[in-house]
A = this chain, B = another copy of it.
Amino acid sequence: MFRHTDHMQFDIAPENPDPVFARKLQELIGGTFGEMTVTMQYFMQGWNCRMKGKYKDLIMDVATEEIGHVEMIATMVARLLEGAPATESTKNAMGDPVVAAVMGGMDPQQAIVSGGGALLANSNGVPWNGSYIVASGNLLADFRSNVSLESQGRLQTARLFHMTDDPGVKAMLRFNLARDTYHQNLWLAAIEELKADGIEDTIVPNDLFDEEFAEHATSLWHLSDGADADKGRWAHGTAPDGIHQNGFLANPEPLGNVQAGPPPDPKLYATYDGAMGEPRAAAFGTEKGVVGKIKDAVDPTS
């Protein structure tokens, strides 16, 4: 259960409105790596976490912080839109090149749809959606995703930092940059802790090594003609998992049969000349086994 205070985590006080930047800032709310994604990614990971204790508690702390970031940036967007020429007619706007250019750079839905507020969408107006989040239940896999997410997030924040010179906006971004720095460190530390605790190791999932074809777990297939693909440590020496020896397959040949679909069901009208014969039926049981017996039992002709 949640509780909320109207005080935000950090001050949101732009010196001046800037409706063009307000559109760009949407990327940090509803973009693939925006605050909606970190919020819901961490909540779903936390609620889906099957180990009580420090990992779950950590995830919930960060998730709860992040929904406050949605609040902060949505508020910033609204403040940047103050006094925007959103209800100016085209004709009027065209009389002033500055106003005209601002109008061209604005997100029209921030006026028409939300009446001067933020949207749950990215900087091109595409709505945020639930496929952006990663919550697999495997902590190593998910923490790696979190490192990636915070890295892209700080990268985008840094890019946006250069797109404004408003001291108030920059102050909020300075705070966000710092939190993204900490959160990158945090998830990297949590990955180290998982290994130190002996819970997860280098490869996700930590299983099926005796099932996989070991001979294919070591080499780079050289399929493009760049000359330097074998110059890195991915092609030599011991792999990060400490087990495999990296290799380089300089002239790889296909190992497989020729690509082809099976004979089609004639009632589906795939174009076909009959050369491969009739399709087989799916066989779920063998030699009058479990399923065969059911079939007999319900077949009035048998």
Alpha-carbon separation in the docked complex, A103 to B182 (Å): 33
Decide: A102 and B147 in contact? CB cutoff 8 A. Answer: no
A133–B120 Cα distance when bound, in Å, is 8
Known: A36-B130, A259-B6. A294 touches B79 (CB 8 A): no
Which of A44-102 touch B at CB < 8 Å?
Answer: 44, 47-58, 60-65, 67-68, 70-72, 74-75, 78-79, 81-98, 100-102
A283 to chain B, nearest CB (A): 5
**Is residue A139 within 8 Å, beta carbon to beta carbon, of the partner chain?**
yes
Distance in angstroms from A22 CB to nearest chain B CB is 9
* Interface flag for A190 (CB, 8 Å): yes
Number of copies: 6
Evaluate contact between A181 and B244: CB separation under 8 angstroms.
yes
Chain B residues closer than 8 Å to A118, beta-carbon distance? 44, 47-48
Bits for A1-20, please: 1 = Cβ < 8 Å to B, else 0: 11111111111110011111
Contact (A285, B87) CB under 8 Å given A112-B159, A116-B270: no
| B125–A130 CB distance below 8 A | no
Contact partner, A7, options B166, B211, B254, Cβ 8 Å: B254
Q: Is the CB of A117 within 8 A of B261?
A: yes
Task: Name the residue of chain B whose CB is nearest to the CB of A40.
Answer: B120
The answer to whether B7 and A257 touch across the interface, beta carbons within 8 angstroms, is yes
> Which residue in B4, B102, B126, B260 is a CB contact (below 8 Å) of A94?
B102
A220 and B62 in contact (CB under 8 A), knowing A97-B101, A124-B121?
yes
Given contacts A6-B259, A97-B101, A181-B203, 13 further A-B contacts (CB under 8 A): A16-B282, A31-B109, A32-B113, A43-B71, A50-B260, A58-B226, A90-B163, A96-B295, A117-B137, A121-B131, A182-B217, A188-B202, A290-B299
Nearest 9 pairs between A and B by C-beta? A124-B125, A57-B226, A120-B130, A104-B104, A115-B137, A137-B270, A100-B101, A8-B256, A48-B117
